Amino acid sequence: MPDLNTIWFILVGVLFTGYALLDGFDLGVGALHLIARTDEDRRVFLNAIGPVWDGNEVWLVTGGGALFAAFPMVYATVFSGFYLAFMLLLVALIFRAVAIEFRSKQPMKWWRTMWDYAFAGGSILSSFLIGVAMGNIAWGVPLDAQHEFAGTFLGMLNPYALLMGFTTAALFAMHGAIYLLMKTEGELHDRLRKWINPAIINFVVLYVIFTLATLLYVPHITEAIKHEPWFFGVVVAAVLAIANIPRCVTLGRDFQAFLSSCGTMVCLMALFGVGMFPNLVFSHPSPENSLNIYNAASSQKTLGIMLTIAVIGIPIVLAYSVSIYWIFRGKVKLGKMSY
Amino acid sequence: MDNVLLLSRLQFAFTISFHYIYPPLSIGLGVVLVVLEGLWLKTKRPLYHQLARFWTKVFALTFAMGVATGIVMEFEFGTNWATYSRYVGDIFGSALAAEGIFAFFLESGFLAVLLFGWDRVGPKLHFFATCMVALGAHFSAVWIIVANSWQQTPAGYHIVGEGISARAEVTDFWAMVFNPSTVERLTHTLGGAWLAGATLVASVGSFYVLRGRHRDFARVSIKVGLALCLAVSLFQLFTGHGSAVVVAEHQPAKLAAFEGHYETGPAPLYLAGWVDGKNGTTRGVAVPGMLSWLVHGDSTKPVTGLNEFKPADRPPVNFVFQTYHAMIAIGFALIGLSALGVFFWWRGVLLEKRWFLWLLVFAVLGPQLANQLGWWSAEVGRQPWIVYGLLRTSDGLSKVVRSEMIVTSLVLFTLVYTLLFALFVYLLNDKISHGPDESDLLEAGKLGLPKHES
């Protein structure tokens, strides 16, 4: 039986993975939004995510809350350390959220174009910044003896973190394209099918470069992974999942393609988790100042209470979330209440 | 460091005040929607269906604004108040996480059905979804008030460690949740939110009557709004009194600041006044002994005065005094207004009193202002503490955030929020001037009237 700290490492990971799987596709739809040329196509895109996007964003809010509760030192250090990056992320998230709601409220062309740009720009910037933040956490950030961030905003824009930012944006775009396949029909669906391969290639190329960079330049992750031989099974699973996507698309099994894309993301998050464990924020250049699941955690009592809350809450959330996705299954039909 | 403190407080005050325009509307309109859809299911009158559809669209707009500005709040605890976050993570963090799991998922999940499910689910399931959205909105109030009340009246914790590594840890979860001020502050906050929804509905209804449009729609809106408004504004007398008694017991410096009360002794209740903070005096119109009577049930019993506290441990007195009294004044005005409205309604002359309908149109601002003023007096009244008696606000800051960074983000938020507010008002106004959709009344409307399951 793993200890409470390990369980919470996994649970926080699960919440952020849920966020990546769900908000990942609606951020991806945002990234592709401007490629759709006509107002009707863009409306289809928005209505494909319309009923679910803000529920998806709740995974981020809850993940953040769980991080605050279980590992307050990480929450405090990362959020104050990444101050300007997170402020930009907030502005990006605000603009894409209100763009979805505001766009349909007026028919003027300039109005709709303005919100199209806000939605696409906000989505791309959010995906990119989330990747940059994860890249910094993996690469390591300078922490002092009190575990306070000792770096700078510009220091966060190092090549490795930027690479992870681009990779994340590419991953979400691919995921979003596959989601749109499930939600569209007819001529738009045919056009979207042609976007899938470029989206996959774009992601795979970036991901291969990113993996090489990790193996060459991030020894603490490489070491951690060497200690867990089953890790190679996850790598193989990730590769198979990616390879399965074009196969499913060719066969017209859009839902299976989406599941494969989800599987890819789960594998990648698992690798990230194995690579980091037991650290939550790696300190570079002074690894002894790293925040890990013990020196960053809340009391055992709180971790226990939180586990009870999670055990009660998460199954209920999953049950009605699945029901709601079921209610809104099938292709998008534009109607009176649509965006 | 002083600049960082001032700027961080300014940014938090600005972003939370702006955010708090929307959640009360979501909570209040949530109740209104449950009432309207319930009436529709019961009576099957298409008019209620039309009302529910119209207010759902307004709800969607306020909800989107609430989500967009709410995520900022969760981030800010970490970005600007990192030391505070480390200190209270064990407690405040759990409440915030519980809010995510129990409230936000429920609210946003079922919102999908409320907004987009009209033609996908039956009327009963749709009504259930509406109830869940309203319930989720109320749950979110519960957990955030738990967290905030713990800051006001900490309970169920002990302090571990010393100096910079000191932190509060939970010893008794339920004592933390039901800390001494949770229940009173929750009921008072929810009341304020219901009033925000009720007055919005009455205000729009009055506007339509004055413009001679949508008569049936407007009449129902005014009546539902007025009835809720009267009931809740009276309810607020009790919850407000309850809150003040808890403040008197647990945060005596705050109560003394509410009333500008300096010398411990029998205390008057001011109707209006001005506090001279330098000389420690308060002038104004007051009822002698009334505060003592309200707190202790005896007008001769002493109430602790501000002179018992070192100047460094006192909140800014006049600000707290003025905001608190303005909130109360608005509360009484709302009672008077809604009582008069119900009287006119009973006499059957409500729709002819144009001057009164104009008052109702502007009544929507009352609860919004009172909600803001009430929170300002509650939060500024807690100063100089971020956790009452345990941690000073000046000790809760992020150590690595410099003032120029906060200036940057503050300018950014000011620009973005000004734009958002202008757009929100523009779209709300547009929605109201378009009015309810007449096709919602017809079986053969654009989407058709959802059929009842028999």
Chain A residues within an 8 Å CB radius of B78: 68, 75-76, 78-80
Question: Given pLDDT bands bounded at 50, 70 and 90, which one contains residue B452?
Answer: very low
Q: Cβ neighbours of residue B108 under 8 Å, at least 6 residues apart?
A: A54, A55, A57, A58, B67, B136
Burial of A51 by CB count in 10 Å (0-12 exposed, 13-18 middle, 19+ buried)?
buried
Give phi and psi for B314, each to the nearest 5. -105, 145
Contact: B79, A87; criterion CB under 8 Å? yes
Phi-psi region of A185 (alpha: psi -120 to 50; beta: other; left: phi over 0): beta
Give the lowest-confidence range in A56-65, A217-226, B344-353: A217-226
Q: What is the mean pLDDT of chain B?
A: 88
Cβ partners under 8 Å of residue A45, min gap 6: A29, A32, A33, A36, A180
- Beta-bridge partner residues of B159: B168
Residues 6+ positions from B410 with CB-CB distance below 8 Å:
B7, B10, B11, B14
Give B328's Cβ-side CA count (13 Å radius).
20
The partner residues of A149 in beta bridges, in order of sequence, read: A143
User: Residue B242 has which token pair?
Assistant: 């309850």
Q: For residues B1-13, give the mean pLDDT.
A: 88
Q: Is B404 on the interface with A (CB under 8 A)?
A: no
pLDDT at B447 over 50: no
Are the beta carbons of A64 and B164 separated by less than 8 Å?
no
Closest CB from B82, B90, B101 relative to A313: B101
| Three-state DSSP class for residue B448 | coil
> Are A143 and A281 a contacting pair, CB within 8 Å?
yes
Q: What distance in Å separates residue B195's CA from the closest CA in chain A?
A: 25
**pLDDT tens digits for B114-164?**
988 888 888 889 999 999 999 999 999 999 999 999 999 999 888 888 777
- The whole-angstrom separation of Cα B411 and Cα B419 is 12
User: Residue B116: which of A313, A314, A337 has the nearest Cβ?
Assistant: A337
**Residue of chain B whose alpha carbon sits nearest to that of A71:** B89
Inform me whether the C-beta atom of residue A50 falls under 8 Å from chain B C-beta atoms. Answer: yes
What span, in angstroms and rounded, lies between the C-alpha atoms of B134 and B34?
Answer: 7
Q: Which helix (H) or strand (E) holds B286?
A: strand B281-287
Most A CBs within 10 A among B12, B73, B75, hence the mutation to make, goes to B75
How close, in Å, is residue B420 to chain A by CA atoms?
8
Count of other CB atoms within 10 angstroms of residue B1: 10
SS3 B170: strand
Between CA A189 and CA A180 the distance in angstroms is 8
Q: Cα angle vertex A195, ends A189, A196, to 5°?
A: 95
According to the model, what pLDDT value does residue B445 have? 41
| CA-CA-CA-CA dihedral for B236, B239, B240, B242, to nearest 10 | 160
Q: Rounded to whole angstroms, what are the CA distances from B390 to B88, B227, B435?
A: 11, 43, 52
Indicate if the pLDDT at residue B443 is higher than 60: no
**Given phi > 0 = left and psi -120 to 50 = alpha, else beta, which region is B265?**
left
**ipTM of predicted complex:** 0.87
Tell which of A23, A337, A338 to mutate to test the B interface (max B CBs under 10 Å): A337
- For residue A108, with 0-12 CB atoms within 10 Å meaning exposed, 13-18 middle and 19 or more buried, which class applies? exposed
A 71-100 residues with CB below 8 A of B? Answer: 71-73, 75-81, 83-84, 86-87, 90-91, 93-95, 97-98, 100
Q: Kindly state the tokens that stand for A157.
A: 């824009």
- The chain A residue lying nearest B421, using CA atoms, is A98
- The answer to whether the Cβ–Cβ distance between A305 and B71 falls below 8 Å is no
The pTM assigned to this predicted structure is: 0.90
Q: Given pLDDT bands bounded at 50, 70 and 90, which one contains residue A301?
A: confident
Q: Are A142 and A288 in contact (CB under 8 A)?
A: no
What's the confidence (pLDDT) of residue A52? 87
Residues 6+ apart with CB under 8 A from B15: B69, B72, B73, B76, B413, B417
A327:B117 CB<8 A? yes
Query: Average pLDDT, stretch B291-312?
Result: 87
Would the CB atoms of B72 and A94 count as touching at under 8 Å? Answer: yes
Nearest to B173 by CA among A8, A298, A73, A12: A298
Task: Evaluate if residue A311 carries a pLDDT over 80.
Answer: yes
3-state helix, strand, coil in chain B (%, to 5): 75, 5, 20
Task: Mark which residues 146-175 of A lie under 8 Å from B by CB.
Answer: 146, 148-150
Q: How close A191 gets to chain B, by Cα (Å)?
A: 26
CB proximity under 8 Å: A 301-330 to B: 301-302, 305-306, 309-310, 313-314, 317, 320-321, 324, 327-328
Closest CA–CA distance from residue B63 to any residue of chain A (Å): 10
Tens-place pLDDT, residues A6-22: 999 999 999 999 999 99
Q: Across-strand partners of A143?
A: A149
The structure tokens listed for B196 are: 């925000």
Chain B residues closer than 8 Å to A77 by CB: 82
DSSP B36-99: HHHHHHHH--HHHHHHHHHHHHHHHHHHHHHHHHHHHHHHHHHHH-HHHHHHHIIIIIHHHHHI
Across the interface, do B79 and A80 touch by the CB < 8 Å criterion?
yes
**Which residues of chain B are within 8 Å of residue A146 when distances are taken between CB atoms?**
164
CB of A291 within 8 Å of a chain B CB? The answer is no
Q: Which tens digits make up the pLDDT trace of A207-222?
A: 999 988 988 888 888 8
Q: Which residues contact A308 (CB under 8 A, 6 or more apart)?
A: none
CA distance A54 to chain B (A): 6
Say if the Cβ atoms of B97 and A309 lie within 8 Å. Answer: yes
Q: What angle do CA A161, A162, A164 make, to 5 degrees?
A: 65
Alpha-helical runs (H) found in A52-82 = 53-70, 72-81
Whether residue B230 is predicted with pLDDT greater than 80 in this model: the reply is yes
Query: B229 with B334: CB under 8 angstroms?
Result: yes
Q: Which residues contact A105 (CB under 8 A, 6 or more apart)?
A: B427, B430, B431
Alpha carbon distance A16, B302 (integer Å): 54
Instruction: Say which of B85, B101, B116 has its CB closest to residue A314.
Output: B101
CB A303 within 8 A of CB A70: yes
Residues 60-99 of B with CB under 8 A from A: 60-61, 63-65, 67-72, 74-75, 77-80, 82-83, 85-86, 88-94, 96-99
Containing B287, the helix (H) or strand (E) segment is strand B281-287
- Interface check A14 vs B, CB under 8 A: no
| Pair type for strands B391-392 and A279-281 | unpaired
Q: Does A106 touch chain B (CB under 8 A)?
A: yes
- Asked if the Cβ–Cβ distance from A328 to B112 is below 8 Å, we say yes
B439: confidence class by pLDDT, cuts 50, 70, 90 = low
Q: What's the CA gap between B334 and B340, in Å, rounded?
A: 10
Smallest CA–CA distance from A100 into chain B, residue: B64
Residue of A nearest to B144 (CA): A65
Confidence of residue B434 (pLDDT cuts 50, 70, 90): confident
Q: B169 φ, ψ to 5°?
A: -125, 150
Q: To the nearest 10°, report the CA torsion of B151, B157, B160, B162.
A: 40
Nearest-angstrom CA–CA distance, B298 and A60: 52
Q: Do B98 and A327 touch (CB under 8 A)?
A: no
